Structure 1
Amino acid sequence: MSENRLLDANINRSAEGLRVLEDIARFRLDNQRLSAAIRSLRHRVRDLFKGREHSLLAARNASADVGQTTSQQETGSDQRNDLRDTVLSNFKRVQEASRSIEEILKTKGEYTAGKIVEELRFSVYELEVELMSFFSRQLPAGIYGILGEKFSLGRSNVQVAQEMVDAGISVLQYREKLKDKSIKAIYEECLAIRQITRDAGVPFIVNDYADIALMVEADGIHQGQDDIPIKALRQIAPDMILGCSTHSPAQAQQAIDDGADYIGVGPIFTTQTKEDVCAAVGLEYLDHVIKHHDIPFVAIGGIKRNNLAQVLERGAKTVCLVTEIIGAEDIGKRIKEIQEIFNAGEER
């Protein structure tokens, strides 16, 4: 039957697209959870049609496929600029093929099977959001965590990173100085934390050390005003999230002009967690950035539970609390308390 030929073509399209995505999650992202989820979907598609392989193969007629000529004549429509394009294209292929399978099954009176494929299609939509986030240079909203071992009550950066990620922070930055740790120790910690954040799907930002960020395949690099300019950094890290600390309207504009993906806005309040930090810029600078710029930003500096609501009320979406989190006895409990303040702000 002609319906079997339609099914055969689209089952293959769906499974092939899922295999490409599975391989990218497995071999490029080293993400066991995503790889396993995509693999499971691929097997579920194939399992739906067990027992009818013979009829599907009998309906196949690749040599007489009129679409081959059209495909061969196309120039450019299937080009890929980078791996992100490949991921996006294969998700679309799987989604479109799944919809076609669903409609064909319903046409054949196999309504239950069609609904199963519909469910699978919605699972693919969810996976697309998650996998594409690895190829996005956007700063997520929520809690921006920063590590600092001397404020962590004797706990290692790796231990604190695991606790913060488990508690649901949105992004994590590694920040240590060479006077406190050797470059080897910094590299080894970043390597371990990269795996923790990768497994959890949390963006990992390295402060200052562009070479280490590249070696461990971090998601981004954060620079201060006296570090390598964003414009220069972009030459060696074209696909990474690049952030820049700013303390004035002029610095914010310069970071934007240089191509930063986000800026740090602060210190909002007086802070002791960073040496040689400038005086607090107050809520006025935060107001300026919100009013005059669309660039994503993280509000930072001296922010605690007792003043977080003020920052959120001004319009901040991503906020960093350093010692308030890493200096807490129970990091998970503290992050939950902070998230409740975020949620209360959203309800107002």
Structure 2
Amino acid sequence: MLRDLDYQGRVLARLGDYLTELSGQKLKADKIVASNAQETDPDLKRPVPDFPLKTWEVLCASGKLSDSRLAVPYSTRQDGICRAVPDIVFKVPTGGGKTFLAVAALSKIFGQYLGRKEGFVLWIVPNEAIYTQTRRQLADRHHPYRQMLDVLSGNAVRLLEKADQLDARDVESHLCVMLLMLQAGNRENKDSLKMFRDRGDVDGFCPPEWEQHAHAAALAANPNLDIYDLAGSSYPWPQVKDSLGNALRLIRPVVVMDEGHKAVSELAFSTLYGFNPCFVLELTATPKDVAPTGGKNPKPGHHANVLVEVKSISLDRGGMIKMPLNLDPRSGTDRRTALDRLRDLDTSA
């Protein structure tokens, strides 16, 4: 059974404030995009605002950001085709219930911001131990975390791993949650990864191979889709690969990044945002800011967009911090040694 903890309620309330403002700012940006699409004179087209940045500025002005991060500027995130992506960080100490906060946040993101219960969540974890634990919790229909997802989706959760079959109809009718270890989608040679290769069990996302105009339209809408090498293709026009990577780019998943501070390299960023996410939620105890570098190969810096920060004292008040218990088992029934040790501890305290 889950307990109602004050600090978790504060985190989710702050998320609610953020999503309310984000929805309004996105609506304005979408109207400009629609207007620009109808405008034939390039000089009359209006620049599309960075709606996550606008949202952040409003929250900052209203005092709804963490005091320790007020001097840190917002770091804009863009997907693989340069669309603005909302990105926020929950700074939560270890043992603070990050998985609960992630699941509860998904309910708000889908319900309050996206306005739907179906879709796709790409849940990225840093190592096998956390992968196994998270999968066990989300797969167990009696576990509170899975039950929260069932409530969100109307009992239509589909838990996936990267090698599982994926059909577009599942994404349209289910809440699909795919677990992925960070290193599985973050290597130098993407061509060697199965998730970027052509697969026969990723269905319904790409056009039939013979529909030339449909492939051209898909590439025009999403230029970062992987295509087959024309030299080895049966058709003389570019064809989109039936790969998991391409499916994710077309789906535009919500990304949950557990231990987000471990995915701050340039490669990790390009891979993650190359999946064209529509929202990124990072959870970490130690958010990391990356400074820009100069030299022959300059690289831009980026900051962690910490929306809310939970202090360790909040966990202590909620009974989430457990004191270690060191046992020294000994044979016999003599209690004098234990009493002497207790007096020593009292003295040192």
| Structure with greater helix share of residues | 1
Q: TM-score, normalised by structure 2?
A: 0.26
Q: TM-score, normalised by structure 1?
A: 0.26
Higher relative contact order (Cα pairs below 8 Å, separated by 6+ residues): 2
